[in-house]
Structure 1
Amino acid sequence: MKPHIMRGVRGGIAIAVLGALGWLAGCSDNPAGVASVRSFAAVSAGGIHTCGVTAARDAYCWGHNLYGELGVDPTTTSETCPGAGGPLPCSTVPVRVAGRRSFAAVSAGFLYSCGITAPGVAYCWGNDVEGQLGDGSTSISGTPVAVAGNLRFSSVSTGDYHTCGLTTNGTVYCWGRNDNGELGNGSTTWSSTPVAVAGGLTFSAVSVGYDYSCAVTADGAAYCWGSNLAGRLGNGSTASSSSPVAVAGGLSFTALATGGAHTCGLTSAGAAYCWGLNLEGQLGVGSTTSNSSPVAVAGGLSFTALATGGAHTCGLTSAGAAFCWGNNLLGQLGVGTATGPESCPYDQTEIPCSTVPVPVSGGVSFATMSAGYAYTCGVTAARAAYCWGGNYWGQLGDGTRTDRYTPTRVVP
């Protein structure tokens, strides 16, 4: 499957935690100074839908909703988007997740979503064919269902078909598809309930990619498990592993971000390193050569946060400036065009890309960012949400299905 058209959630698919403000850039269909009805504390960009948590801890989602991934019954969705077999349920504006639970964080995956409450109870909704909702079944749910096991989570991260959560005591549990060992429990058996990652390691953060997972310990040691195609586990090989393997290089990371088939890590000094597939420049090293161990992102920029998408990556500086690199086929780099700034050879053709970090247009300062499959979102310090890139299913939340090449305001 071609990475830039691979079905799936990309972006490490990141968890959006209350208090962290989402990654977005600015400029928009909404005039400056207009007050937002929904003040977003964080936004999580998934495969083809997006979710966010407001300052009041209400969860909203928008985009594709065939499987109830927006947290509302697909049959009650007021909009439809054209699908191959006919109209499909979607929403081009935020809709509130059913159940009126108070969420501390949400994470949008590919065709499903998860969230945690302030006490650490995890709920998931949407597609569940591979058991990624974690409730012990494989039944699709358009409303949140509790993850089994009575575990208390501090964070949760969604991928394409599997989910991982970090408990309050530092243990990582995963559930869902496990063909490549992405659950990390030493087997390749699927599980519709949480299973502990092997090795007895204590982690401080976890991030889930397409068919692999990564986590970092409190002392900065990075580990990954699952598929190792193109070296996405970062251990210097391409052999998959059903249990954690240490990322090569001896670097100490404060955060990791997993994408479609590439991974990035941030050091305490703000240096960004990436590894894995690089056909579209998503490693940011000035070339399209893949690497099975960490390589420094070009440009010498110092970042405070990173976000990985399907085949693109974004970083945020301490001044709130956003930079992106990799695939730009749908404008997900936010540079005002989908025809550059470079061309990357790909499958006997060329695609618009950038092999080095380029600044996101608009001049807006961001507090955090989140990269989805082929789009990017963020939230400003004023808690206004913006998205840019592919918008076929309304995942940008601006009330249209028009791709946007610069940051566009999510309907408030």
Structure 2
Amino acid sequence: MRLPLRPHAPTGALVVLAALVVLVATLLAGAGTMARAADEPRSAGASAGSAAVTAVDAPARRAPAVRRVAAGGEHSCEIRGDRTLWCWGRNTYGQLGLDRTGPGTAIPEQVGGSTAWATVSAGGASTCATRTDASLWCWGVNHRGQLGDGTRDVRLEPTRVAGRQWKQVSTGWFHTCATRADSTLWCWGDDSAGQLGVPGDQDRTTPTRVPGADWKRVSVNGWSTCAVKGDGSLWCWGRNLFGQLGVGDNRDRAEPTRVGTGTTWSGVSVSWTHACARTGAGAVSCWGRGDQGQLGTGALAGSTSPVAVAGGHVAKRVAVGEGSSCLIDDAQRRWCWGSDVYGQLGDGSAPGGSSPVPVVGPGTWTDLSLGWLHGCARTSEGQRACVGNDERGQTAVPGTAARQAPSTSTSPRTVTRREGPLSFRIATFNTVGNGHTRPYARDDQLAPARMRAEWTARALRTLDADVVGVQEQTAEQLAAILAAGEGEYASFQTPASGDLGVESALLWRRDVWKPVERTVIRTQFISRELDRPVVLLEHRATGRRIWVMAVHNAPWEYQAKRDKAVRAQLARINELEATGVPVFYVGDMNEKETIVCKVMAGTTLRSATGGRYADGRCTPPRGTMRVDWLFGPGDATWDGYAPSRIPLVRLATDHWVPVSRVTLP
């Protein structure tokens, strides 16, 4: 059963089924690999996943045999039959191990010369692998000590981790864990949520032993860790915002806590917000966030305890990505469920929507790995095939990037102009820019911007926002938000405006609103003036119109800068009010009661939270006030106003997100 992510949402970028069928058939036939050249970073104007595709001629010969595959955040790796290691995709932090950073590659390149490799784990922006001599090597980003070499320095090529007899390693964005031949478990990197499973909450830059013994397999991602012991018991610890630890509640754990007492488990896989595991008999259960069907139960609901995946499959492998899950069954078929926004289910259908139950894809398979938004697998003939998001060339498959461009079409509607109230939901959302949150930046404790874009899009749908001002994002973040929303939202400005142009933007639902006029007001922000969108929207169902101004004003001690910006913004609001069309003023004003009094004194607008201005006296709203605001006409009725911190919002931003239904008479 394939479901759209929202009943009236477009089904995603259109693509013919034949393209994927031909692709899989080509891979299964062992044809040489074609790849696109991947610029990194993409130009600011590119839509997420819409980079140009360049086919590279490949000789008509069988592709090299593959032993293992590993899909990471935005890169992938494989160990070939001769035990050489090859990686491709994004390389911003040297995660490909090629002794360089900068532009990545969609063409696999060899790592570490002729060294014989045994296992590999591609993390968020780092990679770790074991050699056949049981030594462990890591490279890439190291801002939380996740490479385990005693430093926080980026490593551009394999760097040895202390210790011997390493068996299996799993690396995420913030931390890494690995087992040794003596069945001990060791973790290192960030411990802010207790994900290292050791006393204390400080970063560890070298391997630290996790209490307990008889550890066999481990999986990490986000701020969570799960591991299976030799007796078949399963243990998880770390962040538990969505119940992704599977222990029956949402409370974080700083030490290993048993999952599913009485069940014998044989393998586990962890994503940012959910996990799946298989029993010794091959049954698969999942837990955590489930709003995209990633738990495979047939419902779009989460669970804090393991729930059985529908279909009764006997699994030999199980893997999870963010929002989706897959297994390989005892007949070597690949079944996947959850989000298919980027075609990551690989079942041959057009990308888009989601499936809350497993769907089968073509071919036969023996190994499987899912990254953030893409996956790679090994065919029964020893070939590698990847599907899903290809923004950074991480699938090494030509033409897949084009599948991800959001649809710009809108179903035609008959506009019936009528008298009476107009009701819709409006919000403002500070997305926190990548400039603040990238590794080694001020707020690098937040998740990477690419994943936060996914959660932002999901949060907007969960909050049912029809109009929303967004602030701080880069052009690339905005493009990713629009792609994750599958074209449900339009924006002004657009990603083509560049980072400064989209620092404040307005989003609206395409099937609810039609833009009539799009303009900007240029106002002061710290050391420069920036464009702020001012958009005239027409409600498709009624023909009624509203003006919306979305702003972001200077933070911290820059009061004079804020005063200058607000004076210009209120002057424009007065001009808009003179047209007789209702005006809304939303954004991160970086002021509390001060901005309320300025707005009420200088315009006829009022806050969604109340407040009063009469006889030259201002009475601010009661209760807690924050810096993000919604203002609208004085005759508007606000219903259900709340500064939201739902789990998806907490993952995406450190701000509260004000949202309310507003009704115009």
Q: Which moved more, 1:29-38 or 1:201-210?
A: 29-38
1:376 pairs with 2:375:
yes
Q: CA, structure 1 residues 118+325, in 2 after alignment: closer, same or farther (shift >3 Å)?
A: same
Equivalent residue for 2:357?
356
Q: Specify whether residues 28 and 403 from structure 1 end up closer, same or farther in structure 2 by C-alpha distance, changes over 3 A only.
A: farther
Contact 2:327 2:335 in 1 (8 A): yes
Selected match of 1:207 from 215, 219, 224: 219
Greater share of strand: 1
Does residue 56 of the first structure (1) align with residue 77 of the second (2)?
no
> Is 2:98 the partner of 1:72?
yes
Aligned ranges for residues 183-262 of structure 1 at < 5 Å?
Answer: 183-198=196-211, 200-262=212-274
Cross-structure match for 2:181: 168
Cα distance change of structure 1 residues 331 and 169 upon mapping to structure 2, 3 Å threshold: same
In structure 2, the CA distance between the partners of 1:257 and 1:353, relative to structure 1 (3 Å rule), is: same
Match of 1:315 among 319, 327, 334: 327
Q: What is the CA-CA distance between 1:29 and the residue it aligns to?
A: 4.9
Contact 2:93–2:156, Cα closer than 8 Å, also in 1: yes
Task: Report the residue type matching 1:106 in the other structure.
Answer: V
Q: What is the SS of the residue equivalent to 1:74?
A: coil
User: Residue 74 of structure 1 aligns to which amino acid in structure 2?
Assistant: R
* Structural mapping, 1:8-407, within 5 Å: 27-29=24-26, 32-34=29-31, 35-75=61-101, 88-148=102-162, 150-198=163-211, 200-340=212-352, 352-360=353-361, 363-399=362-398, 402=401
Tell me by how many angstroms 1:221 deviates.
0.4
Contact persistence 1:393–1:401 (CA under 8 A): no
Q: How much does 1:100 deviate?
A: 3.7
Q: How many residues align?
A: 355
- In 1, the alpha carbon distance for the partners of 2:82 and 2:233 equals 35
**TM-score normalized by the length of structure 2:** 0.52
- Compared CA separation, residues 26 and 246, structure 1 to 2 (3 A): farther
Equivalents in 2 of 1:403, 1:377: separation in Å?
A: 18
Contact 2:173-2:222 within 8 A present in 1 as well:
yes
Unaligned runs of 5+ in 1: 5-24, 76-87, 341-351, 406-412
Equivalent residue letter for 1:232: Q
Moved over 4 A (4+): 28-31
* Deviation per residue, 1:61-97 (Å, 9 max, x gap): 000001111111335xxxxxxxxxxxx5110010011
Amino acid in the other structure paired with 1:366: W
Preserved contact between residue 284 and residue 308 of structure 2 (Cα < 8 Å): yes
| Mapped partners of 1:302, 1:317: distance in 2 | 5
Q: Distance in 1 between matches of 2:221 and 2:215?
A: 17
Q: Distance in 2 between matches of 1:308 and 1:96?
A: 26
User: How many Å separate the matches in 1 of 2:226 and 2:118?
Assistant: 22
Q: Which structure 2 residue ranges, 5 or more long, are not aligned?
A: 6-21, 32-60, 405-665
Cα deviation for residue 229 of structure 1 reads 1.2
In structure 2, C-alpha distance between the alignment counterparts of 1:30 and 1:316, rounded to whole Å: 18
Distance 1:30 1:155, change over 3 A: closer
Structure number with the bigger relative contact order (C-alpha 8 A, sep ≥ 6) is: 1
The percentage of aligned residue pairs carrying the same residue is 36
Q: Are residues 141 and 36 of structure 1, via their aligned partners in 2, closer, same or farther at CA, if it must alter by over 3 Å?
A: farther
Mark the CA change 1:73 to 1:51 in structure 2 (over 3 Å): closer, same or farther: same
Give the secondary structure class of the aligned counterpart of 1:306: strand
Whether the 8 Å CA contact 1:236–1:248 is kept in 2: the answer is: no
In the alignment, the residues of structure 1 paired with residue 290 and residue 325 of structure 2 have an alpha-carbon distance, to the nearest angstrom, of 11
Identify if the C-alpha distance between structure 1 residues 106 and 40 changes in structure 2 by more than 3 Å, giving closer, same or farther.
same
Q: Kindly provide the CA deviation profile for residues 97-118 of structure 1, in whole angstroms up to 9, marking residues without a partner as x.
A: 1354221111100011000011
Determine if contact 2:30/2:63 at 8 Å carries over to the other structure. no
Whichever residue aligns with residue 69 of structure 2, its letter is V
Contact between 1:390 and 1:403, CA under 8 Å: does it hold in 2?
A: no
CA distance in 1, matches of 2:188, 2:93: 19
Checking the alignment, whether the CA contact within 8 Å between 1:125 and 1:133 is kept in structure 2 is: yes
Structure showing greater Rg: 2
Alpha-carbon distance change, 99 to 143 in structure 1, aligned in 2, over 3 angstroms? farther
Partner of 2:485: none
Q: Report if the CA contact (8 A) 2:148-2:189 is conserved.
A: yes
Contact 1:329 1:338 in 2 (8 A): no
The CA deviation at 1:381 is: 2.1
Structure 1: how far apart are the matches of 2:301 and 2:252?
Answer: 20
CA distance in 1, matches of 2:332, 2:402: 24
CA RMSD of aligned residues (A): 1.9
- 1:304 counterpart SS class: strand
- CA deviation vs aligned residue, 1:236-263 (integer Å, no higher than 9, x gap): 1111111100013421111111112111
